Structure 1
Amino acid sequence: MTNILVMRLDNIGDVIMTSPALRAIKENLPDCRLTLMASPGGAQAATLLPWVDEVLPWRVLWQDLGKLDFNPEREWELIRTLQAGKFDAAIIFTSFSQSPHPAAFVCYLAGIPLRMGESKEFGQGVLTLELPAAPDEIHQVERNLRLIEAAGFEVIDRNLCIQIPETAQKEALALLSGNSEYQNSQFPPYLLLNPWTSCQSRNYDSQRFAIAALQLAKATQMPVVVTGVEKDCDKSASLLAMLGDYAINLIGKTTLPQLAALIANAKLVLTNNTSTMHIADATRTPTVVMFAGTELESQWQPRNGYSRLLRRPTHCSPCYAFRCPYNLECLDISPEEVVVTGLELLKFD
Structure 2
Amino acid sequence: MAVKNDFKRILVVRTDRIGDVVLTTPVLKALRDNYPKSHIAMMVAPQAAELVEGNPYSDEVIVYDKNKGHKGFLGFWKFVLGLKKKKFDLAIVLHTKRKTNIITFLADIPRRIGYCDTKFGFLLTDKIKDTRSLGLKHEVEYCLDILRHMGMKVKDAAPYVALNKDALAWARNFLQEAGIKKEDRLACIHPGASCVSKRWLKERFIVLANKLVEEYGLKVILVADGTDMVIADEIAKNTRYPVINAAGKTSLSQLAALLKHCSIFISNDSGPVHIASSVGTPVISLFGRNQAGLSPVRWGPVGKRDKYVHREVGCSVCLAHNCKIGFDCLKAITVEDVLKAVDDILKA
TM range (shorter): 0.7 to 0.9
Distance (whole Å) between structure 2 residues aligned to residue 221 and residue 81 of structure 1:
54
Q: Is the 8 A contact 1:192 1:266 kept in 2?
A: yes
The structure-2 alpha-carbon separation of the partners of 1:45 and 1:70, relative to structure 1 and needing over 3 Å to count, comes to closer
Unpaired segments of 5 or more residues in structure 2? 1-6
Match of 1:144 in 2: 143
Unpaired segments of 5 or more residues in structure 1? 62-66
Structure 1 position 282 matched with structure 2 position 283: no
Q: Shift of residue 339 of structure 1?
A: 2.0
Distance (whole Å) between structure 2 residues aligned to residue 217 and residue 131 of structure 1:
49
Match of 2:86 in 1: 85
- So what's the TM-score if we normalise by structure 1? 0.86
Q: Deviations over 1:67-121 (max 9, x none)?
A: 9999333332232222122212211002xxxx45642332222211111112246
Q: Deviations over 1:285-327 (max 9, x none)?
A: 2222111206222111123231221122133345273554541
The structure-2 alpha-carbon separation of the partners of 1:282 and 1:69, relative to structure 1 and needing over 3 Å to count, comes to closer
Distance (whole Å) between structure 1 residues aligned to residue 217 and residue 277 of structure 2:
25
Q: Shift of residue 246 of structure 1?
A: 3.3
Q: Shift of residue 220 of structure 1?
A: 1.6
Q: Shift of residue 125 of structure 1?
A: 5.8
What is the SS of the residue equivalent to 1:23?
Answer: helix
What is the SS of the residue equivalent to 1:6?
Answer: strand
- Among the aligned pairs, what percent are the same residue? 27
The structure-2 alpha-carbon separation of the partners of 1:60 and 1:129, relative to structure 1 and needing over 3 Å to count, comes to farther
Match of 2:3 in 1: none
What is the SS of the residue equivalent to 2:46?
Answer: coil
Between 1:309-318 and 1:215-224, the stretch displaced more is: 309-318
- So what's the TM-score if we normalise by structure 2? 0.86
Distance (whole Å) between structure 1 residues aligned to residue 60 and residue 71 of structure 2:
28
- What amino acid is aligned across from residue 281 of structure 1 in structure 2? S
What is the SS of the residue equivalent to 2:123?
Answer: coil
The structure-2 alpha-carbon separation of the partners of 1:44 and 1:289, relative to structure 1 and needing over 3 Å to count, comes to same
The structure-2 alpha-carbon separation of the partners of 1:188 and 1:48, relative to structure 1 and needing over 3 Å to count, comes to farther
What is the SS of the residue equivalent to 1:55?
Answer: strand
What is the SS of the residue equivalent to 2:53?
Answer: helix
Residue number among 25, 31, 34 corresponding to 1:19 in the alignment:
25
Residue number among 212, 215, 221 corresponding to 2:211 in the alignment:
215
Note the 1:25-174 alignment, pairs <5 A.
25-47=31-53, 49-60=55-66, 71-94=72-95, 99=96, 102-120=99-117, 126-134=123-131, 136-137=134-135, 138-174=137-173
- What amino acid is aligned across from residue 310 of structure 1 in structure 2? V
Distance (whole Å) between structure 2 residues aligned to residue 303 and residue 325 of structure 1:
31
Distance (whole Å) between structure 2 residues aligned to residue 157 and residue 110 of structure 1:
31
Structure 1 position 6 matched with structure 2 position 18: no
- What amino acid is aligned across from residue 233 of structure 1 in structure 2? M
- What amino acid is aligned across from residue 88 of structure 2 in structure 1? F
Q: Is the 8 A contact 2:213 2:241 kept in 1?
A: no
Q: Shift of residue 240 of structure 1?
A: 0.4
What is the SS of the residue equivalent to 2:128?
Answer: strand
Structure 1 position 191 matched with structure 2 position 187: yes
What is the SS of the residue equivalent to 2:302?
Answer: coil
- What amino acid is aligned across from residue 2 of structure 1 in structure 2? K
Q: Is the 8 A contact 1:3 1:88 kept in 2?
A: yes
Between 1:40-49 and 1:256-265, the stretch displaced more is: 40-49
Distance (whole Å) between structure 2 residues aligned to residue 231 and residue 101 of structure 1:
29
Distance (whole Å) between structure 2 residues aligned to residue 313 and residue 282 of structure 1:
28
Distance (whole Å) between structure 1 residues aligned to residue 36 and residue 319 of structure 2:
38
The structure-2 alpha-carbon separation of the partners of 1:42 and 1:205, relative to structure 1 and needing over 3 Å to count, comes to same
Note the 1:262-273 alignment, pairs <5 A.
262-273=258-269
Q: Is the 8 A contact 1:230 1:253 kept in 2?
A: no
- What amino acid is aligned across from residue 164 of structure 2 in structure 1? P
- The aligned length equals 336
What is the SS of the residue equivalent to 1:303?
Answer: coil
Residue number among 253, 257, 264 corresponding to 1:257 in the alignment:
253
Q: Deviations over 1:316-341 (max 9, x none)?
A: 34527355454111111222322232
Q: Shift of residue 152 of structure 1?
A: 3.0
Q: Shift of residue 43 of structure 1?
A: 2.4
- What amino acid is aligned across from residue 58 of structure 2 in structure 1? V
Match of 1:228 in 2: 224
Distance (whole Å) between structure 2 residues aligned to residue 125 and residue 309 of structure 1:
37
Distance (whole Å) between structure 1 residues aligned to residue 161 and residue 48 of structure 2:
14
